[in-house]
């Protein structure tokens, strides 16, 4: 059986909207066309994907399983098309993704020096898309901050680093040296709790079921720090990100009782590119940590250079 990716895209739209009219509108097709394509997909798979009557549309167990399995197929197809188009243009490009605070210059230069005809590009990623840009072919490899969903990926562990609480410069804890996570329990965390799992057990705002503003989850590092400086909350960042984005109006304190952040290199496990293997070896030799910056101090100062 040859699986039609177009039918999969139609299935994903209907699974999202659970309404034939709205799904057809989003796909810019007529509703009868969508109905025929879904029936054809069900016939090809020999399963029923939706339960439908006059009042509702619901996924069947088979539909829920396909909803889990279809996205990697679609993103993989997009990645294949992207790489084929690059090859067709006669270009030789290798693209590296990286998270904020990680300096990848040494590794990029090392690969470029070994392959003078190769164009080595870089793409800044974020918490939400650091693995997605690998799956959709936007980058060949990506430096990621774990934990990540590693399905379909290979992840090479590179190093672990401490995490730092970033507070307003006039905060009551500023200048008091390392803190515990409990010291921060009354604060508002300007990021999704999934980024700081330890927060769930101690945070007053979690225990009291305070509604979290949706925009809290979408801050870039720069936006987080602006809000911290305006006394709207705190952020907990990997040490390299805190050092890279250091500012004189903020205080940076180590948190002594939470685990480190792990940094790795991720790539599509199905690819057999020699360049990926070569870059993985290079990445292990050149960790992407800004080691020339001074770390937050253990002596009560924030330890951040004012250069």
Q: What is the pLDDT of residue 54?
A: 73
Q: What is the pLDDT of residue 89?
A: 61
Query: Which pLDDT tens digit goes with each residue over 204-220?
Result: 776 665 555 444 554 78
Q: What percent of the chain has pLDDT over 70?
A: 83
- CA dist 281 to 32, 95, 106, 270, Å? 53, 16, 13, 18
Which H helix or E strand runs over 61? Answer: helix 61-88
Split at pLDDT 50, 70, 90, the class of 269 is: very high
Split at pLDDT 50, 70, 90, the class of 301 is: very low
Mean pLDDT of 194-211: 72
Are 285 and 240 members of one domain?
yes
For helices 5-17 and 61-88, angle between their N-to-C axes, nearest 10 degrees: 130
Query: Which pLDDT tens digit goes with each residue over 49-76?
Result: 999 877 789 999 999 888 887 876 776 6
Are 73 and 142 members of one domain?
no
The three-class DSSP label of residue 235 is: strand
In the chain, helix, strand, coil percent, each to 5?
A: 40, 20, 40
In a domain, 108, yes or no: yes
Sign of CA dihedral 107, 82, 127, 249: positive
Are 56 and 173 members of one domain?
no
Query: Which pLDDT tens digit goes with each residue over 10-38?
Result: 898 999 899 999 999 999 999 999 999 99
In a domain, 56, yes or no: yes
Most confident residue range from 169-178, 272-281, 296-305: 272-281
* Torsion, Cα of 211, 185, 241, 264 (10° steps): -90
Q: Which of 77, 107, 126 delimits the end of a domain?
A: 77
Are 54 and 97 members of one domain?
no
Are 111 and 237 members of one domain?
yes
Side-chain-side CA neighbours of 11 within 13 Å: the count stands at 29
- Name which residue leads in pLDDT, 69 or 146: 146
Are 31 and 105 members of one domain?
no
In a domain, 40, yes or no: yes
- Name which residue leads in pLDDT, 286 or 217: 286
In a domain, 277, yes or no: yes
CA distance 136 to 77: 8
In this structure, what CATH number is given to the domain that contains residue 232? Answer: 3.40.190.290
Residue 252, φ and ψ in degrees, nearest 5: -125, 120
> Do residues 172 and 297 touch, judged by C-beta distance below 8 A?
no
Query: Which pLDDT tens digit goes with each residue over 226-257?
Result: 999 999 999 999 998 898 889 999 999 999 98
In a domain, 61, yes or no: yes
Q: Is the pLDDT of residue 145 over 60?
A: yes
In a domain, 286, yes or no: yes
| Number of domains, the chain | 2
Q: Which of 24, 44, 77 delimits the end of a domain?
A: 77
Question: Could you tell me the pTM of the whole model?
Answer: 0.65
- Pairing state of beta strands 153-161 and 261-268? antiparallel
Mean pLDDT of 145-151: 88
Q: Which of 77, 104, 136 delimits the end of a domain?
A: 77
Q: What is the pLDDT of residue 86?
A: 59
In this structure, what CATH number is given to the domain that contains residue 41? Answer: 1.10.10.10
Split at pLDDT 50, 70, 90, the class of 87 is: low
- Pairing state of beta strands 250-254 and 261-268? unpaired
Are 182 and 267 members of one domain?
yes
In a domain, 237, yes or no: yes
Are 246 and 303 members of one domain?
yes
Are 69 and 121 members of one domain?
no
Mean pLDDT of 248-273: 92
Residue 21 belongs to what domain range? 5-77
Are 252 and 193 members of one domain?
yes
Are 97 and 151 members of one domain?
yes
In a domain, 139, yes or no: yes
Are 245 and 151 members of one domain?
yes
């Amino acid at each position: 059986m040859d699986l039609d990716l177009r039918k999969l895209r139609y299935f994903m739209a209907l699974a999202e909207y659970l309404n034939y009219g709205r799904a057809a509108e989003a796909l810019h097709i007529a509703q009868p066309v969508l109905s025929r394509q879904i029936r054809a997909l069900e016939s090809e798979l020999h399963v029923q994907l939706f339960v439908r009557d006059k009042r509702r549309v619901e996924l069947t167990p088979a539909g829920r399983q396909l909803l889990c399995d279809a996205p990697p197929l679609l993103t993989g197809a997009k990645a294949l098309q992207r790489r084929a188009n690059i090859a067709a243009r006669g270009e030789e490009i290798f693209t590296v993704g990286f998270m904020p605070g990680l300096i990848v210059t040494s590794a990029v230069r090392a690969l470029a020096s070994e392959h003078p005809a190769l164009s080595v590009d870089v793409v800044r990623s974020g918490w939400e898309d650091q693995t997605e840009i690998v799956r959709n072919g936007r980058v060949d490899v990506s430096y990621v901050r774990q934990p990540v969903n590693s399905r379909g990926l290979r992840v090479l562990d590179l190093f672990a680093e401490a995490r730092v609480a970033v507070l307003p410069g006039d905060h009551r804890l500023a200048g008091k040296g390392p803190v515990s996570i409990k010291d921060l329990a009354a604060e508002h965390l300007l990021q999704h709790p999934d980024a700081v799992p330890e927060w769930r057990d101690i945070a007053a705002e979690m225990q009291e079921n305070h509604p979290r503003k949706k925009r809290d989850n979408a801050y870039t590092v720069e936006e987080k720090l602006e809000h911290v400086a305006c006394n709207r909350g705190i952020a907990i960042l990997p040490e390299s990100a805190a050092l890279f984005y250091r500012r004189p109006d903020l205080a940076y304190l180590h948190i002594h009782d939470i685990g480190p952040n792990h940094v790795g290199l991720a790539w599509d496990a199905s690819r057999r590119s020699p360049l990926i293997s070569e870059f993985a070896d290079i990445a292990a030799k050149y960790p992407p940590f800004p080691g020339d910056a001074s770390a937050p101090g253990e002596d009560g100062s924030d330890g951040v250079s004012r250069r």
